[in-house]
Amino acid sequence: MTTAMDLTKQFIKTKQPCADGFRWFLRHHENGSNYQDLLDALVDAGRVSDACWLLSQFGPTNAVLEVDAVNAEAVVFAGSLQVRGNIEVDTLIRTGRGIQAGGSIVVGQSLVSGDDVKAGGTVRSDGAMEVTGHLKAAWGIEAREHLRCGGDIRAAWDLWCGGPLNVSGNAHVGQDLVTQGPIVCGKSLVVGGRLTARDSIRAGDGIQAGGSIESAMHLEAGWGIKAGRSILAEGTIRAGESLSAHEVICAGAGYGVFAGLNVQVESWESSARVCACTKPASLMSGWWAGAREV
C-alpha cells in the first residue's frame, strides 16, 4: 500500500521494464519522478500500456482525485477516483482503488478498477470490464467483452455481456441479464426479467428469474432454481435443491434434469420439489410436485 513515492531510475530498473519504456523514462525523467506524475506523463505521451505496467508493478495508493467530470482519451490513476458527474473515456480507464461517479461511466476500450465501482447512471465498456470489488449501477451495466467482478454485482436495469461473466459474490439484476458467453456466479444469481446465456450458467447458491432461464449449455445451481416462466437448457439441468417453473422445464436432447443433488432422498418431498406445468421427460431425481400454484 502506497501513499506517495519518488521513482528513481535504479528503482524502476529493478522491475525489469522493457527497453523502449526505460529509454523513454531516462530521456524525460532522468532524475526520477513522483509516482502519479509519471503515470500522467506516460498517458499524455500515449504510452498507456507502460502506465498500466507501472501501476501493476508498484500498486495502488491512498490518493483521492475529486473532480466534477472526466472527459479524456485515457486515465490511469493509482488511487481512488470520485466524480460528481459523468466519466467519459475514449480508450482505457484503470485505477488502483475504486471509481465512483454521480452519473454514468462510459469507456471506449476497457475498465479496470482495483476496488468498488459505483455509478448513479450506466456503467458501459466497449471492451472488457474488470472490477476487484463490488460493481453497482443505478441504471444498467454493459460490457462488450468479458466482465469479471471480485465482489457483488447490482444493476437496477439490464446487464448485457458480450463474453464470459464471472462474479465472485452475488449478482442482482433488476431487468434482463443476457450474455454471449458462460455465466459463473459464486453465490446467488437473481434476475428480475429473463436470464439468457449463449453458454453454461452456474451459481454456487440459488438462481431465480422473473422470466425464463435459458442456457445454451448446462444449467447448475448449488441450491434451487426458480423461473417465472420456463427453465430451458441445451445441456443438463442440475439443482442442489428444488426446481420450479410456471411453464416447462426442459433439458437438452440426451441430457437429464436433476433436483435434490445436495439433499438426502428422504427430504426430497420438502426440499427437492420439481414444479412445472408438465413433468420433465428426463427427470432423473427430485420429487415431482406437479404444477406450481399461482
The CA distance from 120 to 8, in Å, is 40
Side by side, the strands of the sheet bearing 257-258 are 75-77, 92-95, 110-113, 128-131, 147-149, 165-167, 183-185, 201-203, 219-221, 237-239, 257-258, 283-285
45 to each of 9, 11, 73, 250, how far by Cα in Å? 19, 21, 11, 56
Q: How far is CA 164 from the centre of its chain?
A: 9
pTM of the model: 0.90
Which pLDDT value is given to residue 37? 84
The CA distance from 240 to 140, in Å, is 30
Q: In which residue ranges of the chain is pLDDT below 50?
A: 1-5, 7, 9, 11, 22-23, 26-27, 29-32
Helix (H) or strand (E) segment spanning residue 271: helix 268-271
The CA distance from 206 to 96, in Å, is 32
Which pLDDT value is given to residue 289? 96
Strand 135-137 relative to strand 153-155: parallel, antiparallel, unpaired?
Answer: parallel
∠ Cα 164 93 117 (to 5°): 65
Which pLDDT value is given to residue 17? 55
For 254, other C-beta atoms within 10 Å of its C-beta total: 8
Which pLDDT value is given to residue 152? 98
For residues 112 and 99, the answer to whether their CB atoms sit within 8 Å is no
For residues 78 and 1, the answer to whether their CB atoms sit within 8 Å is no
Bridge partners of 37, per DSSP, are: none
Which amino acid, 236? T
Which pLDDT value is given to residue 113? 98
At 147-164, the pLDDT tens digits run 999 999 999 999 999 999
At 166-183, the pLDDT tens digits run 999 999 999 999 999 999
Which pLDDT value is given to residue 16? 53
The CA distance from 112 to 179, in Å, is 20
The CA distance from 95 to 72, in Å, is 14
Which pLDDT value is given to residue 15? 53
Burial 216-241 (b: 16+ CB within 10 A, else e): bbbbbbbbbbbbbbbbbbbbbbbbbb
Domain ranges in the chain?
Answer: 6-51, 60-157, 165-294
What's phi and psi for 213, nearest 5 deg? -115, 120
Strand 6-7 relative to strand 33-34: parallel, antiparallel, unpaired?
Answer: antiparallel
